[in-house]
Structure 1
Amino acid sequence: MTTTKNTAPATPATTTAAPVLTRCAEAEICADPSSTMTLLADSAPGEGGFTVYRSTFAAGAPGAPAHFHTRAWELFFVIGGSLRVLVGEEVTVLGAGDFLAVPPHTPHAFAAAPGSEADVLCVFAPGMDRFDYLRLLGSVMRGETAPGAIAASSERFDNHYVDSPAWRAALAGDGA
């Protein structure tokens, strides 16, 4: 194998995208009985970009059931506490400072680890217009919208729920 060093001068990529700044005091907050989501940045489908929000889960919060996305990576950075995650068929716990990137088509789920709260930065790349999904989810969790609305939105928000025996077993071990 031959290795060649690139000696061409580096040139910055040109882009028409603008910088994104969201001040904490101006961020929209979505809350349900067990979690709070601070909405930070959202890109429309086809724009590329990213979707970013911060989720804080109360101890015992249910998080998200097993699902996958077909068009985006979902990234998790644990700011504080512990987050239990399913990736494929493996369940593990992430602690403060841990990072996880889940590629498209990979079943995954997440919840606050047993006995712990979790503070997590979540990123979708490319962006997927996810804020409307998070608003819908909060509305369902608060009992304002029928749960069937989530299933009906699966194509729009690229959120496809699946059964995971590994995730069910992990939750059953909690008495959930």
Structure 2
Amino acid sequence: MSSSRTHFAPVVTRAAEAETTSDPSSEMSLLADSGTTGGLLTSYRSTFAEGAVGAPAHFHTRAAEMFFVIDGSLRVLLDETITVLSAGDFLLVPPHTPHAFAAAPGCTADVLFTFTPGMARFDYLRLLGRVMRGEADFEEIKASSERYDNHYVDSPVWNAALTTG
């Protein structure tokens, strides 16, 4: 029997063994990158402190991004609309859709993120942690847009939401 499916071993990442990267307002647990999933997906979990900003407005050209809120509330920009996701809510952001996210005002958030198809994104998340800790310059992130499929855009709607709470 022939199969065109890529073969890879099942992936189990124990919470206690997951690599983590953190900054003063969030912690990311790196769960599965494309290299271990046969390119099917990349997944990580982020916990955000109250008031933490997760990502500025951006879009991806090659991947859909899925959000599942485990606990708390997450404020999300989708194109030019802002919505709040609460525990148990799921969101799928298709490619080319500008989006941004942050802990909702007065809330923390615990969120599972999954990208499909997978890309080697863990180095981006490590870089992001270094930038947030002041160990690297944001210009390094801007220079990596194509490599990690993160294309930043200006969003007056998101900027206004962040300044008005």
Q: Answer yes or no: same fold by TM over 0.5.
A: yes
Amino acid at match of 2:43: V
| Per-residue Cα deviation, 1:7-43 (whole angstroms, up to 9, x for no partner) | xxxxx98551321111111100100010000000000
Give the aligned partner of residue 93 of structure 1. 84
Structure 2 regions of 5+ residues with no counterpart?
Answer: none
Instruction: Specify which of 65, 81, 98 is matched with residue 72 of structure 2.
Output: 81
Amino acid at match of 1:18: A
Amino acid at match of 1:66: A
1:16-165 matches, cutoff 5 A: 16-44=7-35, 47-165=38-156
Give the aligned partner of residue 168 of structure 1. 159
Deviation at 1:136, TM superposition (A): 0.1
Amino acid at match of 1:86: L
Give the aligned partner of residue 3 of structure 1. none
Deviation at 1:135, TM superposition (A): 0.2
Say which one has the larger Rg. Answer: 1
Deviation at 1:87, TM superposition (A): 0.6
Cα distance in 2 between the residues matched to 1:150 and 1:16: 32
Cα distance in 2 between the residues matched to 1:24 and 1:89: 35
Cα distance in 1 between the residues matched to 2:78 and 2:40: 24
Cα distance in 1 between the residues matched to 2:49 and 2:16: 22
Cα distance in 2 between the residues matched to 1:14 and 1:84: 37
Cα distance in 1 between the residues matched to 2:121 and 2:96: 17
Deviation at 1:48, TM superposition (A): 2.8
Aligned-CA RMSD value: 1.4
Query: Which 4+ runs in 1 deviate beyond 2 A?
Result: 12-15
Deviation at 1:166, TM superposition (A): 1.2
Q: TM-score under structure 1 normalisation?
A: 0.88
Question: Percent of aligned positions with the same letter in both sequences?
Answer: 71
Deviation at 1:139, TM superposition (A): 0.2
Amino acid at match of 2:158: W
